[in-house]
Amino acid sequence: MLQNHAPTISSLHPVSLIINGEKREIEVAPWTSLLDLLRGPLSLTGTKKGCDHGQCGACTVLIDGERMNSCLKLAITLDGAEITTIEGLGKPGSLSAMQQAFVDHDAFQCGYCTPGQICSAVGLLKEGHAHSREEIRELMSGNLCRCGAYVNIADAIEDVMAQQAKEPQA
């Protein structure tokens, strides 16, 4: 069966992605995950590889504005998509509100899960389904923190949620 498709099996496929606002024309093998594409050829190593199986959330990025596990996305299936990684949210000196809140609330220890936590939290706020601390906790359950910074992570997100309630553009 394999030989029927042999001409394409080793070939790279062109994919067009908008990554952190910049249009990129890239060639990918069909089996390259978005996570491996970001961390390898694109050198965007802010996005972390934890379990590589969609269980830990460390690789969370925003795809067309929605948080997803980049380890479970084949890059080739994302042609035309807009990707936002932690690097696209803010930079040292001009942190986004969520990044700043994580700093202010000491919402990490080792920091490995933090980019995924922050991208997930930004997605959560955009979705608008969390209205209480309990709901924040439930809707952040896809991001594990082995250091156990959960209390401060929830504090940081609650803080930004409160800021946004006062000023919708925050």
Task: Give contact residues for other proteins (rule: CB under 8 A).
Answer: 1-2, 4-6, 8-10, 13, 30-31, 33, 52-54, 57, 60, 63, 66-69, 71-74, 76-77, 79, 120, 123-124, 127, 129, 132, 134-135, 137-143
Least Å distance, CB 97 to other proteins, is 20
Distance CA(44)–CA(40), nearest Å, equals 7
Nearest residue (CB) to other proteins, 15 versus 44: 15
In angstroms, the CA 10 to CA 24 distance is 22
How many Å apart are CA 60 and CA 34, to the nearest integer? Answer: 11
Question: Of 2 and 166, which CB lies nearer to other proteins in the complex structure?
Answer: 2
DSSP for 23-60 reads EEEEEE-TT-BHHHHHHTTT--TTS--SSSSSSS-TTE
Distance, CA of 34 to CA of 58 (rounded, Å): 13
For the bound state, the minimum distance from the C-beta of residue 162 to other proteins, rounded and expressed in Å, comes to: 19
In the bound complex, what is the minimum distance in angstroms from residue 112's beta carbon to other proteins?
17
Specify the residue, 60 or 99, whose C-beta has the smaller distance to other proteins: 60
